[in-house]
Amino acid sequence: MRNWAIGAALLTAALGTGPAAAVAENRLPSPESAIGFTPCADFKLATYEQIAAYFRKLDAATDRMQVLDIGSTAEGRRQILALISSEQNLANLSRYKHIARSLALNRDASGRPLTDALARQMARDGKAIMWVDFGLHSTEVAGAQAAPWMAWKAVTEETQEMREIRDKVIFVLVPNLNPDGTTLVADWYMKHVGTPWEMNVPALYHKYAGHDNNRDWFMFTQPESRNIAKQLYEEYFPQVVYNQHQAAPFPARIFVPPFEDPSNFNIPPLVIRGVNTVGDAITRRLDQEGKVGAISRVQFDAWWNGGMRTAPYFHNMVGILTETAHPSPTPATYDPARFPLRFPNGESTLEPSTYYPSPYMGGRWTMRDSCEYMLTASMSVLEIGAKRREEWLYDIYQMARDAMKAGANETYIIPTEQWDPGAAVRMVNVLRAGAVEIERATAPFMAGGKLYAAGSYVIHGAQPYLPYVRDLLNPQTYPDRRLYPDGPPEPPYDISGWTLSMQMGVRVDKIKEAVAAPTEKVLTASMPPGGVSGAAKVAYAIDPRTNEAFVAVNRLLKAGDVVQRTTEHVDAAGTHWPAGTFLVTPGQGTHARVEQVARALGLKVAAFDTALPAETLHVKPPRVGVYKAWEPNADEGWTRWVLEQYEFPYTSLLDADIRAGSLRAKFDVILLPDARHGQMVNGFAPGTMPPEYVGGMGANGVGQLLQFVADGGTLVAQDSATELPMTAMHLPVRNAVAGIRSTEFYIPGTLLRLTVDTTNPVAWGMPQEVAAFFTHSPVFEVARRERDAQKPDADAGPAVNIVASYPGSDVLMSGWLLGERYLHRRAAVLEARVNKGRVVLLGFRAQHRAQPHATFKLLFNSIYLSSSEAGVRLQAAGFARACGPPRASTAAHVAAGL
């Protein structure tokens, strides 16, 4: 009770004179004037619309604030950002933006690097740009509710400190990074408040990414990530980026940096120092205000790239994350007698320590307490922004300058010769979204003793964001860290390896020299020129090596075209057509459609007047079902996202749909996104959710899936979901690493080398070696089938084919791996015939966070295979493999009679 009394008193202190007084004094609208209640109050959540309405209302009433529309969300809401500073600063905004950009990029108005003297002068003249956003994980609710208070406070408060902040800082305030989820959770809570499920929303709080919306910050797949990246790296170049969360290690009240080790080796030291400085400023201010329970150096590390506060590190920005306790508007009383004794780092929860000097001793806690901690932490960022204004500005210049020097003899070249040229273009654009400077060669050039063609992309190391380039285009070498010597591994906060070029299957040559090539600047890369070699009499051939081919085929299937795939590779007169080459039969309007997709997608389509001498499969438009449990599952969202990007139509299948049966009549293929067997079978437990969301697919649902396969359907299980078919269908396969201790075998999100059998239809169009994203995944061991010599054709159970496996050595590509020997020569992808149907086991994340483009084909091929039938043989009389040479090596128009 004592703590609650203190808390209540401090609330008034933090919020100054209180809402009513502020209205009277400043004649400015208070948060409740727009929202209808006091945000942060018990049992209430404002929607994003209500919060944005307040920001607009406040903006209209003051010249100290500008609200900007920064783009659309996944569900079509508009996303806003607010700038708060003195009237004079906002009147001169373009000048201060110019200074911040020049220093961050080490570039003057004419594009030349700054001198130290000029940079010093600019730092003196500039304003610190401090970014504070109020979260993106929508069930971490206090952030969005605190945002209106922060705006109101920063605009209206007339203390000496706040005047100085407005004078020296341009405060970039983002009320929330995930508007859709904020409204989703607010609506659910207000409808169900008082029930055990008031905070259990049975849906992803971002349409596709869910919680992984904080895992999208180098891939930029989602509109919200792109909107924000543009503000960070093209508009404001903040020196400090503060991103708020609400998952404090219990019973601490807030996690604040310094972070736990390891630190990523590519992060500039001044970033890490800056993080520690800001963290100390936050924790000191919290204790000055009597806000106890701040903890540091536990759980959250600075290894990973791809988070909202981590990707900015590689852009020389100081990224801060805090995790405030109690993500709920419903108050609670915490009893210290029931606290765990230790934090995950081994320190006591009840006794003071260096990084937890004021232990929280329990009591009543409300969302207003959480909001106040957030306001104090945000104030600290603004305070230290003002106090160290000139240093922040000079530091970011110094890091840019030093990066350009460090990268002077380092160049990355993306050659035109690529297995999947579309993936290379996509990767260039992903890097561009992260503000990497990229050029395209306008003529052939020599580098590292090799000749590169015009059209190759060139990334010079001498650029301000060299740390980002290095981190995404080189393998991660994760330090072997244990909880104690020879003990269990200390888990990384997120994952250990993510090298983008490996994930996307793009060849990048690293040259250890400065490369002088005739180039032009790339703003957005476009697909290589595509087209059709002529009007075909027999077939249009589309190479399956590029993922864009699948978009093309989906468009053609939708238009009613007849598509087949070759079941073996064909070397048709000098041109290599891999197994799985798509052959489109000419029909009404086909030529125009093929030409259109070829141009749009950069495909070189060959027109054949005689058939390729190969057996084919006829691909019918596949009817795709994607299993969707009520329990939010980001892997399910990413599966939908990838299918939509490649234009596969699909239907989401709820538990009730699975249980209803007759699945084969409706679907050719059912995808099971990553989930444990028990999760899928049991779902939400009774009493934890309204009855309509309780229970999973149940034994009946599993039975229906078995029936679906027995009836000829294809079941594709992703990562841990492979457990369900392995168990239920008695496949002669076991997980060889189940139950092995983490001291022996541990792979926490790592890229592994995979050897692919490209003759298997599941792997058509893939190279023989790719990177697989493995995270606590299964490793398959296939039992050898003993054939009965007397009855060689007798049914010996499901026939299991190994599609991809781990090699006998050198498996690690990027990240951390313990116990490589458990992987050697074991299977990663299996295809099993079961009765009339088929099961595909993908033993890793083939579409993880929509990043590993190199393994998307495993999913796409499985889908096409589900609706394929033996095709007609297109063999035409007179065609021979030794027929005359094609006119172009990649686009052969093979004329009749050759």
Q: How far is the CB of 255 from Zn ion (least distance, A)?
A: 11
Q: How far is the CB of 601 from Zn ion (least distance, A)?
A: 37
Report the distance separating Cα 428 and Cα 437, nearest Å. Answer: 10
283: number of Cβ within 10 Å: 25
Q: What is the DSSP letter of 694?
A: B
| Residue 424 or 634 having the CB closest to Zn ion | 634
Q: How far is the CB of 173 from Zn ion (least distance, A)?
A: 18
Q: How far is the CB of 114 from Zn ion (least distance, A)?
A: 37
Q: How far is the CB of 223 from Zn ion (least distance, A)?
A: 20
Report the distance separating Cα 863 and Cα 512, nearest Å. Answer: 43
Angle among Cα 36, 37, 38 to the nearest 5 degrees reads 135
Residue 552 near residue 601 (C-beta atoms within 8 A): yes
Q: How far is the CB of 139 from Zn ion (least distance, A)?
A: 9
Residue 843 near residue 804 (C-beta atoms within 8 A): no
| 17 exposure class (CB count in 10 Å sphere: 0-12, 13-18, 19+) | middle
Report the distance separating Cα 120 and Cα 390, nearest Å. Answer: 8
Q: How far is the CB of 104 from Zn ion (least distance, A)?
A: 27
Q: How far is the CB of 241 from Zn ion (least distance, A)?
A: 15
Q: How far is the CB of 143 from Zn ion (least distance, A)?
A: 9
| Residue 133 or 369 having the CB closest to Zn ion | 133
Q: How far is the CB of 144 from Zn ion (least distance, A)?
A: 12
| Residue 178 or 183 having the CB closest to Zn ion | 178
Residue 80 near residue 375 (C-beta atoms within 8 A): no
Q: How far is the CB of 351 from Zn ion (least distance, A)?
A: 28
Q: How far is the CB of 177 from Zn ion (least distance, A)?
A: 11
| Residue 302 or 840 having the CB closest to Zn ion | 302
Q: How many residues does the chain have?
A: 898
Token output for 893 = 């128009």
| Residue 140 or 420 having the CB closest to Zn ion | 140
Report the distance separating Cα 641 and Cα 841, nearest Å. Answer: 20
| 703 exposure class (CB count in 10 Å sphere: 0-12, 13-18, 19+) | middle
| Residue 133 or 548 having the CB closest to Zn ion | 133
Report the distance separating Cα 260 and Cα 299, nearest Å. Answer: 6
Share of the chain residues as helix, strand and coil, in percent rounded to the nearest 5: 35, 20, 45
Q: CB-hemisphere CA count at 13 Å for 42?
A: 7
Report the distance separating Cα 545 and Cα 742, nearest Å. Answer: 37
Residue 382 near residue 246 (C-beta atoms within 8 A): no
Token output for 886 = 């094609």
Report the distance separating Cα 408 and Cα 402, nearest Å. Answer: 10
| 759 exposure class (CB count in 10 Å sphere: 0-12, 13-18, 19+) | middle
Report the distance separating Cα 32 and Cα 17, nearest Å. Answer: 15
Residue 128 near residue 166 (C-beta atoms within 8 A): no
Q: How far is the CB of 765 from Zn ion (least distance, A)?
A: 38
Which residues, other chains included, contact 789 with Cβ-Cβ below 8 Å and sequence gap of 6+? none
Query: Which residue has 């002088």 as its token pair?
Result: 516
Q: How far is the CB of 301 from Zn ion (least distance, A)?
A: 15
Helices (H), 793-872: 856-866
| Residue 181 or 578 having the CB closest to Zn ion | 181
Q: How far is the CB of 140 from Zn ion (least distance, A)?
A: 5
| Residue 19 or 307 having the CB closest to Zn ion | 307
Q: How far is the CB of 325 from Zn ion (least distance, A)?
A: 12
Phi, psi values for residue 316, rounded to 5°:
65, 25
Nearest to 765 by CA among 546, 574, 570: 546
| Residue 197 or 493 having the CB closest to Zn ion | 493
Token output for 512 = 């250890």
Q: Tell me, letter by letter, the H, E, C secondary structure of 35-88.
A: HCCCCCCCCCCCCHHHHHHHHHHHHHHCCCEEEEEEEECCCCCEEEEEEECCHH
* DSSP string of 778-789, one letter each residue: --EEEPPP---S
Report the distance separating Cα 358 and Cα 379, nearest Å. Answer: 20
Q: What is the CA radius of gyration of the chain?
A: 29
Binding region for Zn ion (CB under 5 A): 137, 140, 245
| Residue 140 or 471 having the CB closest to Zn ion | 140
| Residue 140 or 655 having the CB closest to Zn ion | 140
| Residue 299 or 546 having the CB closest to Zn ion | 299
| Residue 156 or 214 having the CB closest to Zn ion | 214
Q: How far is the CB of 206 from Zn ion (least distance, A)?
A: 12
| Residue 134 or 856 having the CB closest to Zn ion | 134
In three-state secondary structure terms, 439 is: strand
| Residue 256 or 458 having the CB closest to Zn ion | 256
Q: How far is the CB of 282 from Zn ion (least distance, A)?
A: 17
Residue 528 near residue 748 (C-beta atoms within 8 A): no
| Residue 144 or 811 having the CB closest to Zn ion | 144
Token output for 677 = 């067997």
Nearest to 221 by CA among 883, 806, 851: 851
Q: Which amino acid is located at 778 in the chain? A: P
| Residue 309 or 388 having the CB closest to Zn ion | 309
Residue 807 near residue 824 (C-beta atoms within 8 A): yes
Q: What is the DSSP letter of 450?
A: E
| Residue 140 or 561 having the CB closest to Zn ion | 140
Phi, psi values for residue 728, rounded to 5°:
-75, -30
For residue 148, say if its preceding peptide bond is cis, omega within 30 degrees of 0: no
